[in-house]
Amino acid sequence: MIHKLLRSTVLALIALWCLGYVRCVMAQAPEGPLPPLPGAKIQTIPPEAVAKISASVTLVNTPVTVRDASGTMLHDLDEQDFLITDNGVPQKIAHFDVGGDPISLVVLVETSSRIESFLPQLQKTGILLTEQVMGPDAEAAVVGFNSSLKTLQGFTRSHDAIEASFSGLKTDESGICLFDAMSAGVEMLSLRRMPTKETPVTGRRVLLILSEALDTGSDARLGEVLRRAQLENVTIFSVGLSTTRAELNAKPRDNAPVPITPPGTYGMPGPPGTVPTPGAGNNQGFDLVALAQVLVEHTKSAVTKRSLEVGAVATGGGYYPTYKGRSIESAIDEIGGELHSQYMISYEPKSDSGGQDFGYHQISVSLVADKAQGKKITTRPGYYIPPPGS
């Protein structure tokens, strides 16, 4: 009997000691995951899970401008008049609107000393932007850029605040970090009007650039910026400020963007399967759509004299230069007219396999046969989904 009692007591003491040891070890255990034991197999995330995390495109917004034979924009078409394909696969329209979706706008304005002669005009454009581009329900922000970037006005619906940011514009350093400014603008817009279950359509994200088509020192590359803009459904409009004399006097720099083709050749690639010739493509042998695809797929920079045009073409926006008799005021007025006459078509991309394919996706928008005669359609050419880990 005494032996059994002694044995029970010893077992109880051992149990209490074990409990205390476990509590002590748990109290000293480090936070977070423990490193694997030597030789232990590390569990990896399935490739299909990585693909869903890194390259999921849930909704593609496609701005569409339709003009008749005389160039007049049309805004009386209906959803059933449009046909849309993604890599040749017909898509179901999830959302359709004509110029009425809420707008989030970022205005990038060059403030380098090179545009000093434009400064009085730029200081007066605030009211045009608020009345012709923003309208009553939009939100907007203003970023000035030269060798560096400065947020002149954060996102606001106040027309007075936007107009004040323009009336107070000043010029400074001579450098132009255009691509860095575009990258910052796309990033700002990517955080606006986040989709929810109740409102899956994010509204319109618009980047408006008032600048020379020149970059003198950005870290960002144009291809990277355009790839992100396409994935974030950002539409780029631009007003090209012409400072020809300043360009001629500007000294070349070591890190200037390198032309894609050698000197003496046609500067932009032509459509697949064609031989580049003067007059082919969109402008003087330059196929801007093909160039945009090359830049987006390979994240390159481009000849800066065409950067604003390529940005507009790649995202379904518009480029309005001022050097052919068009003033800054008239350019902004035209942009406002186009922006609010565009059809916004959205769809959830589906491929032949029912999912999404990596690589470049070509978007095609057309009209049904009885509506297509004599009509010209302008839209974004596509977007690029990078493969996992790229």
Same domain, 114 and 78: no
Evaluate whether residue 156 is within a structural domain: yes
- Residue 8, amino acid: S
What pLDDT digit, counting tens, does each position of 98-154 carry? 987 889 999 999 999 999 999 999 999 999 999 999 988 899 999 999 999 999 999
Same domain, 195 and 232: yes
Same domain, 76 and 128: no
Beta strand 103-110 pairing with 376-379: unpaired
Q: Give CA separation, 204 vs 191, 239, 240, 324, 341, in Å.
A: 12, 19, 22, 30, 13
Same domain, 88 and 112: no
3-state secondary structure of 116: helix
Rounded distance, CA 319 to CA 332, Å? Answer: 10
Same domain, 234 and 179: yes
Q: Which residues pair with 349 in a beta bridge?
A: none
Same domain, 318 and 245: yes
pLDDT for residue 307 is more than 50: yes
How large is the angle between the packed helices 288-298 and 222-231, nearest 10 degrees? 90
Same domain, 196 and 61: no
What pLDDT digit, counting tens, does each position of 3-23 carry? 444 455 545 555 555 545 444
Looking at residue 287, what is its pLDDT? 85
Same domain, 252 and 316: yes
What pLDDT digit, counting tens, does each position of 266-278 carry? 343 333 333 333 3
Looking at residue 302, what is its pLDDT? 67
Evaluate whether residue 329 is within a structural domain: yes
Evaluate whether residue 120 is within a structural domain: yes
Domains of the chain: total: 2
Q: Which residue, 322, 46, 349, 52, is CA-closest to 211?
A: 322
Task: List the single range of 51-55, 134-138, 342-346 with lowest mean pLDDT.
Answer: 51-55
Beta strand 234-240 pairing with 318-321: parallel
Same domain, 253 and 112: yes
Evaluate whether residue 154 is within a structural domain: yes
The CATH number for 144's domain is 3.40.50.410
Same domain, 71 and 181: no
Evaluate whether residue 131 is within a structural domain: yes
Burial string for 301-316 (b: 16+ CB within 10 Å, else e) reads bbbbebbbbbbbbbbb
**Mean pLDDT of the 275-299 span:** 65
Evaluate whether residue 118 is within a structural domain: yes
Same domain, 179 and 69: no
**Mean pLDDT of the 182-187 span:** 98
Looking at residue 255, what is its pLDDT? 47
Helix (H) / strand (E) element for 178: namely helix 178-190
Evaluate whether residue 7 is within a structural domain: no
What pLDDT digit, counting tens, does each position of 58-79 carry? 789 999 999 999 999 998 999 9
Evaluate whether residue 306 is within a structural domain: yes
In which residue are the tokens 């400074």 written? Answer: 172
Rounded distance, CA 98 to CA 368, Å? Answer: 18
Q: What does DSSP assign to residue 111?
A: -
Q: Which domain holds residue 240?
A: 100-258+301-340
Burial string for 246-274 (b: 16+ CB within 10 Å, else e) reads beeeeeeeeeebeebeeeeebbbbbeeee
Same domain, 112 and 130: yes
